[in-house]
Chain A
Amino acid sequence: MISTVRKTLPAALAFAAVALAGAPQADAAWNLLNMPEGVTELSKTIYSLHMAVFWWCVAIGVAVFGVMIYALVKFRKSAGAVADTSITHSTRVEIIWTVIPVLILVVMAVPAARGLIKIEDMRNTEMTIKVTGYQWRWQYEYLDEGISFFSVLDREHDKIRQIGSGLDPNSVPNYLLNVDKPLVVPVDTKIRVLLTAQDVIHAWWVPDFGMKKDAVPGYINELWFKVDADKPGTYRGQCAELCGRDHGFMPIVVEVLSKQDYQDWVARQKAAAEPATSDAEEPAQAAAAVAPQPVASAAVTTAANRG
C-alpha cells in the first residue's frame, strides 16, 4: 500500500511540474508541458487565469492527497490500527468542507468573469477579417481592403503525410503546421475576426493568440486579438473541431508584420490583383489573390488528399 502512495504521488507532483517547466515553446519537446503564454493581451489574461486555477488545484491536491496518504500510512491494520467505529458523521465538519470550497470557487470565479468580459468586448476594433472554414482549407477575406485568398496545407507536407509516403515528417520544419499562403496581419492592432463555415463546423485556433472559436455554417461568430507591438512573427495553429477526413490537415498560419510592412504587403496584394500589372513577385499568389478562382487549385489538393 505504501507503494500505492509511491505511484500516485509522483503523478500529482508531475502535475505540479507542469507549472515549473512552463517556458513557452522551447524546442525540445519533452518540456512542452504547459500552455503558451502567447503574444496578445487576451492570451496573457487566459494564461494567468489558467495558472491561478492550476495552483489552486495543486494546493487543494496537496492538502487532500496529504490527508489521504497520511491515513493510508497511519491507519494500516498491519501497523496495529484499530478502527474507531464511533465516527459516523459530523455535521460541523461537513459544513466546513462545504463552505470552504464555495469560498475558493468565488475567488476563482471573479477574475474568470472579468477575463471573459474582456474577451467578449468587441468594441473599437481597427480592422476586420472574415474567416471561412471549408473541408479542408481556410478562406481569408480582408473586408476593408478587398483582399481574399485561400490557405491550404503546404504541398510538401501534404506529400509527406500520405500513408506509405516513405518520407520523414522530421525532414521539414513545422510539419503539418505550414500553409501555402498565410494570413497576414499587423501588430498592435485590435483585429476582429468574423468566423463562418461553408460545409461543416470548423474551429479557428491559434494558441499564441489565446482564442479559439467555432466556424459554424449559417452563423457569424466573432473574436478579437491584438498582437503585442514587440511581437511580430509567425504563429501557427490548427482547426480544432472535427470536420471530416482531413481535419488534422488544415493548419492556420498567421504572419504578424510591423504596421509599415503590413501596409506594404497590402499594397503588393492590391497591385497583384490588378490584371495589367506584371511586376507581382509571386505569380501564383497573385492568381490566388483574385478571389474565387483558387477553388480550382484547392480542389486539386483536395482530390489529391482523397486519393
Chain B
Amino acid sequence: MANTTHADHAHDHHDHKPHGLKRWLFATNHKDIGTMYLVFACLMFFLGGSMALVIRAELFQPGLQFVDPQFFNSMTTVHALLMLFGAVMPAWTGLANWMIPLQIGAPDMALPRLNNFSFWILPFAFMLLLLSFFVPGGGPASGWTMYPPLVLQMGDGFPLMIFAVHLMGASSILGAINVIVTVMNMRAPGMGLLNMPLFCWTWLITAYLLIAVMPVLAGAVTMLLTDHFFGTSFFNAAGGGDPVMFQHIFWFFGHPEVYILILPAFGIVSEIIPTFARKPLFGYETMVYASASIAFLSFIVWAHHMFTVGMPLAGQLFFMLSTMLIAVPTGVKVFNWCATMWKGSLTFETPMLFSIAFLFLFTIGGFSGLMLAIVPADFQYHDTYFVVAHFHYVLVPGAVFAIMAGVYYWLPKWTGHMYDEKLGKLHFWLSIIGVNLLFFPQHFLGLAGMPRRIPDYATQFADWNMVSSIGAFIFGFSQLLFVAVVWKAVRGGVTAPQRPWEGAHGLEWELPTPVPYHSWDQPPPPSVIAQGVTH
C-alpha cells in the first residue's frame, strides 16, 4: 500500500467492514470467522443435544417406546460425532480465532484465507453426515468409533460418513496450522512464548496434537473405505486382515483427540480463576509443562480404550501404568488451580461459577478415569454406563462448561455489553443440577451392570435411568437460556467498560470495548505488554 494513502486508510480502518452475505462468505477477519465457528458450534450443540434427548427419552423407562433399535444406534453415533467434531472442536477454534490474535497482540490470524476455507468446509462436512439419514440403510449406527466389521454393514450412508470425517479432519488440520503459524510468527515484539496467556499455550499444544493425529484418523477411515468398495482386507479377518488393528489405529488418534477436547479448557480455566481470585495463576510455567506432559502421554496410552480386546499381559501392564501416570500432571493442574484461589479475593460471577464447577466435576471425571485405568477393574467397567458417566463428566462439565465460561468471560469484550448476570447465574444453576442428575446415576447403572449403547434394559435399571433422563431434559432445555443470555448481550444492555472484570489481565483487556473490527494493527507498545503480562 502506498504510504500516502496509508494514514487515511488507517483512519477509517476500524469500522470498515464488508456488508451482507459477502462479509460472512468471504470472511477473512478473525473475529467474523470466530463468530461463525461459535454460531456453528452452537447449532451443532443443539442438534447433537436433541439426539441425546431422543436417547434419554427412549431410556426413560424399560421397553421400546419411540424408536427402532437401529435408529437408536444412529442417535448415539451421530450425537457423538456432532458433539465432538461439530460442537466442541469448532467452539475451541472459534474461541482461538477470536482470542489468540487479541491475546498475543497480532492484527489477525496468520493465514486469513485458509481460515475462511477451514470454516466453510465444516457445514458441508456435516451436511454429508446428516444426508446419510436420508439414503437407504440410514445413518451411521456403529458408534462414533466406527469399528469394523460392524461399520462395514452400513448402507449407502457409509461413504457419506467417511467423506464427512475426512472433511472434518481437513478442517481441523487447517485450523491447527493457522494457530501454530499465528502463535509462532505473529506475537507482538516483547511477547515471549512464556509470556503468553495459558489459553494460547494450551491451544498451541492442541494444534500440534491435531496435526499429529488427524491424518491417522483419515488413514483409518480410508482403509475402511477401500475395504468396503475396493476389495482390500485391512480389517477383514477372512482376507488376512485384522479387525483389532483398526482399534489400535483409531485410538492412536482417539486418545490425543480426548486431550484436543480438554486442553483448551484447561487454558480457559487458567485465565478465569486468576481473574476472579484477583491473583496471578499459581505456577504458570508448571502449568505449561504439565499441559505438554499430558499431550505427550496421550500418545502412549491409547490401548486403555480396548483392554478387553485380548492383549498380551505385558501390553496390558504397560498401558495401565502409562495411563495412571496421566493422573500426575493432571493432579498438578488441579492443585495449582486450588493454590491460585488460596489467599485470593474471590467473587463469583457466571464465568467463575462455571470454572469452579469445572474444577469439581472434572476432578470427579478424573477419579473415574483413574478407576478405569486399573485393568482388572476395567474388565468390569468396560463398555458400561460407568464409562459413559466418566467421559461425560470430563466432556460436559469439563469441556462444555469451560467453553461457556469462556463465552461469558469475553462476551462483554466482544459485544460491548454486559450480559444479564441474573440470567447467567440461573443458567449456571440449572445446568449444574441438570448435569449431575443426568450423569451421576450413570455411575451406578454401569457398576450394577448396564452395558452402554442399548436401547432397552432390564427392569432393575429403571429407577436410575429415569433420574438420568429427567436430568437430561433439565440440562438440555436450560441451555436455551444460554442462547437467550448471549442474544440479549449482542442486542444491547449495560455498556461494558474496557476492563469489565476487576482482576482481568492480558492484552485483550488493553483494547477498547467492544473490541474494534481491526485490532492491534499496530503492535502493542512494550509498556502495554508489560501491563498485560502478569505472571
Q: Residues of A with Cβ closer than 8 Å to B? A: 1, 3-4, 7-8, 11-12, 14-15, 18, 27, 29-30, 32-36, 42, 45-46, 49-50, 53-54, 57, 60-61, 64-65, 67-68, 71-72, 75-78, 81-85, 87-90, 93-94, 97-98, 101-102, 105, 108-109, 112-113, 115-117, 119-120, 160-165, 167-170, 174-177, 195, 199-201, 203, 205, 207, 210-214, 216-219, 221-222, 237-249
Contacts and interface: CB of A to CB of B under 8 A. Distances in A.
Contact of A174 (B316, B317, B375, B458): B458
Given A54-B371, A72-B356, A15 B376 contact: no
Nearest to A60: B367
A15 B364 contact: yes
A216 B308 CA distance: 11
A134 B98 CA distance: 51
Question: Which 8 pairs of residues, A with B, have the shortest CB-CB distance?
Answer: A218-B237, A248-B454, A221-B310, A57-B367, A83-B345, A32-B448, A83-B278, A84-B343
A77 B456 CA distance: 50
B320 interface: yes
B324 interface: yes
Nearest to B384: A240
A7 B432 contact: yes
13 contacts: A8-B360, A64-B363, A75-B346, A120-B313, A161-B64, A170-B62, A201-B149, A210-B380, A212-B380, A219-B243, A219-B310, A222-B310, A240-B382
B286 A94 contact: yes
A175 to B, nearest CB: 5
A176 B308 contact: no
Contact of A87 (B62, B282, B370): B282
A53 B283 CA distance: 29
Interface string B145-178: 0010110010000000000000000000000000
Contacts of A3: 429
B453 A242 contact: yes
B327 A101 contact: yes
Most A-side CB within 10 Å, residue of B282, B367, B436 = B367
A242 B77 CA distance: 11
A49 B376 contact: yes
Interface stretch (B67-75, B84-92, B213-221, B399-407): B67-75
B137 to A, nearest CB: 12
A115 B367 contact: no
A11 B436 contact: yes
Contacts of B70: 244-245
A1 B339 contact: no
B363 A61 contact: yes
B413 interface: no
Contacts of B384: 240
A89 B285 contact: yes
Contacts of A4: 348, 353, 356-357
B223 to A, nearest CB: 16
Interface stretch (B40-48, B104-112, B328-336, B513-521): B328-336
Contact of B143 (A113, A163, A242, A249): A242
Contacts, number: 322
B62 A33 contact: no
B460 A32 contact: yes
Contacts of A113: 317, 320
A21 to B, nearest CB: 9
Given A161-B64, A163-B65, A84 B460 contact: no
Contacts of A242: 73, 142-143, 147, 150, 453
Interface stretch (B14-22, B439-447, B491-499): B439-447
Interface stretch (B188-196, B252-260, B461-469, B480-488): B461-469
Interface string B272-310: 000001111111111000000000000000000000111
Contacts of A81: 343-346
Nearest to B465: A29
A241 B383 contact: yes
Given A88-B535, A105-B324, A201-B147, A53 B374 contact: yes
B238 interface: yes
B322 to A, nearest CB: 11
A75 B286 contact: no
A50 B461 contact: no
B209 interface: no
Contacts of A168: 63
Nearest to B360: A8
B474 to A, nearest CB: 13
Contact of B440 (A14, A60, A247): A14
B64 A162 contact: yes
Contact of B345 (A82, A117, A246): A82
Contact of A29 (B279, B451, B463): B463
Given A8-B357, A201-B243, A245-B73, A75 B342 contact: yes
Contacts of B383: 203, 205, 212, 240-241
Contacts of B344: 71, 75, 81, 83-84
B440 A88 contact: no
Contacts of A94: 283, 286, 332, 335-336
A138 to B, nearest CB: 15
B210 interface: no
A29 B278 contact: no
A223 B283 CA distance: 47
Given A214-B309, A216-B310, 14 more contacts: A11-B364, A32-B448, A46-B380, A53-B377, A64-B335, A75-B341, A75-B344, A75-B345, A76-B347, A88-B535, A120-B313, A200-B153, A203-B382, A244-B150
Nearest to B449: A207
Most B-side CB within 10 Å, residue of A12, A93, A101 = A101
A161 B341 CA distance: 53
Interface in B391-433: 429, 432-433
Given A14-B440, A160-B63, A119 B379 contact: yes
A102 B328 contact: yes
A168 B19 CA distance: 60
A252 B45 CA distance: 37
Interface string B47-70: 000000000000000111111111
A30 B463 contact: yes
Contacts of B522: none
A213 B356 contact: no
Given A169-B62, A169-B63, A77 B379 contact: no
Contacts of B511: none
